[in-house]
Amino acid sequence: MLRAKDLLGLRETSAEEIHEILNTAELMKVVITSNNKKTPHLQGRSIITVFYENSTRTRMSFELACKYMSGTASNISASTSSVSKGETLIDTARTLDVMGTDVMIMRHPMTGAPHLMARNVKAAVINAGDGINEHPTQGLLDMYTMKERFGGVKGLRVAIVGDARHSRVARSNIYGLTKMGASVVVAGPPTLLPPDLDMLGIDVTDRVDDAVRGADVVMGLRIQLERQKKGLFPTVREYHKYFGLTEDRIAMARPHALVMHPGPVNRGVEISSEVMASPESKIDEQVTNGVAVRMALLFMLTRQKPETGGIHI
């Protein structure tokens, strides 16, 4: 069971809850890799994805996860909602709530937007990425991918490489991995490393080779190319040379180390096409595992909401 109504971040999720989510996802993975992707777990339940930022993986995997479990999945975006006519976030959330929604999944450019929504609706709220704060389901699917390969996360050395300053993926992974007993090192250009990162009990360096050497997992982060315009790194070519995940660099990690990336990828910038295509790359597996983890979460969050009866004719 999850303690809270919502899943807003891994900072406030316990190691026991993370264990339970990952174990449940293992059962769900059997469903999505079979030829009968249909279970009754969400029958009679309804979810809405409320995305104020673009997404391919997160939104689609939530919607598929719901459909695979026989639930009703709908979606709304900022441009198609009455937000564009001036409606507030809270009024939009309450409107969707009184339509009988069981779970709302929100992505928003502002840190804390899903938390505000969660305080104002009866539905369970899942944070699908808020500003530069957290992207908890990405952190969970990343840990699931590591567990699948190594049997667990405890004792692993995980190198996270790239723009940690603006990365909600990095933050959720740091909270989750350290809680689960992994050691984490973050590497990137000094301009893209937040100053207080070492307060989170991890190692921080601007030398990628030092971070990658001996790592069990090397995770690249997406470079947001607009950062270059702001002068936070010189050129894309230079970035790739000094901070990109190349074959030479990955060879410094432990034999058979996993290479991961949350996507979307800027090929040839944060990671080379050769590394993406290598057997060590788990990028496709991460996407598949994202569906399993989101099925697990939808199941767990709706299970703890009491049945309200339904129609009796």
The closest of 222, 216, 226, 273 to 243, measured between CA atoms, is 222
Nearer to ligand CP among residue 45 and residue 222 (C-beta): 222
Q: Does 138 bind ligand CP (CB under 6 A)?
A: yes
Instruction: Quote the CA–CA distance of 239 and 293 in Å, as a whole number.
Output: 33
Dihedral in degrees, nearest 10, Cα atoms 121, 310, 67, 58: 10
The closest of 143, 189, 130, 146 to 296, measured between CA atoms, is 143
Contact with ligand CP (CB under 6 A) among 264, 267, 273, 304:
264
Q: Which amino acid is at 96?
A: L
Contact with ligand CP (CB under 6 A) among 131, 152, 263, 268:
263
Nearer to ligand CP among residue 55 and residue 266 (C-beta): 55
Q: Does 139 bind ligand CP (CB under 6 A)?
A: no
Q: Does 266 bind ligand CP (CB under 6 A)?
A: no
Contact with ligand CP (CB under 6 A) among 11, 12, 55, 205:
55
CB 246 within 8 A of CB 273: no
Contact with ligand CP (CB under 6 A) among 58, 127, 133, 167:
58
Q: Does 43 bind ligand CP (CB under 6 A)?
A: no
Instruction: Quote the CA–CA distance of 4 and 113 in Å, as a whole number.
Output: 17
Q: Does 172 bind ligand CP (CB under 6 A)?
A: no
Nearer to ligand CP among residue 120 and residue 266 (C-beta): 266
Q: Does 57 bind ligand CP (CB under 6 A)?
A: yes
Choose the binding region for ligand CP from 18-26, 51-59, 173-181, 207-215 (rule: CB under 6 A). Answer: 51-59
From the CB of 128, what's the least distance to ligand CP, in Å? 7
Tell me the CA end-to-end span of the chain in Å, nearest whole number: 33
- Number of chain positions touching ligand CP (CB under 6 A): 10
Instruction: Quote the CA–CA distance of 82 and 92 in Å, as a whole number.
Output: 8
From the CB of 137, what's the least distance to ligand CP, in Å? 8
Instruction: Give strand pairing partners of 157.
Output: 183
Instruction: Quote the CA–CA distance of 278 and 281 in Å, as a whole number.
Output: 6
Instruction: Quote the CA–CA distance of 151 and 146 in Å, as a whole number.
Output: 8
From the CB of 141, what's the least distance to ligand CP, in Å? 9
From the CB of 225, what's the least distance to ligand CP, in Å? 15
- CA 33, 38, 44, 49 dihedral sign is positive
User: Residue 163 CA to chain centroid, in angstroms?
Assistant: 16
Choose the binding region for ligand CP from 50-58, 66-74, 81-89, 267-275 (rule: CB under 6 A). Answer: 50-58
Residues that bind ligand CP (CB under 6 A): 55-58, 129, 135, 138, 262-264
